[in-house]
Amino acid sequence: QVQLVESGGGLVQPGGSLRLSCAASGWIQKYYNVGWFRQAPGKEREGVGCLNLSDGTSDYIDSTKGRFTISRDDTTNTVYLQMTLLRLEDTAIYYCAADWRVRKGDCSLVPGAYAAWGQGTQVTVSS
């Protein structure tokens, strides 16, 4: 069973950048979907981006396209979320998630599609 640990959150000014890490144990590198999600106070958890590790397919919600990028390091079993041009509304707890149910050419931004979750890391964008 895969276990996930996020890190890299913190306080950043608007327009700044952060890189979140998701370190996995028990990782099957080529047969997982990985998603990044966030949840702000009083709001539902939403997907911000996902990556299909088997074929490299990625997807992002409109508000993060061009600003957020998911990448991977197979040597360390780590998936990253690089966030740039951060906005006040990006403030949330960020979670990574993984699931073995992979379809070619697809990854999911739906929380219910993921079985394994990390504990989350806080990102605060504030001046």
Span 8-56, pLDDT tens digits? 999 999 999 999 999 998 766 667 899 999 999 999 999 999 999 999 9
Average the pLDDT over 118-123 and give the result: 97
| pLDDT for 7 | 97
Instruction: Convert the pLDDT of each residue in 57-107 to its tens digit.
Output: 999 999 999 999 999 998 889 999 999 999 999 999 999 999 988 888 999
Q: Are 37 and 45 in contact (CB under 8 A)?
A: yes
Residues 6+ apart with CB under 8 A from 75: none
Beta bridge mates, 22: 6, 79
| pLDDT for 103 | 87
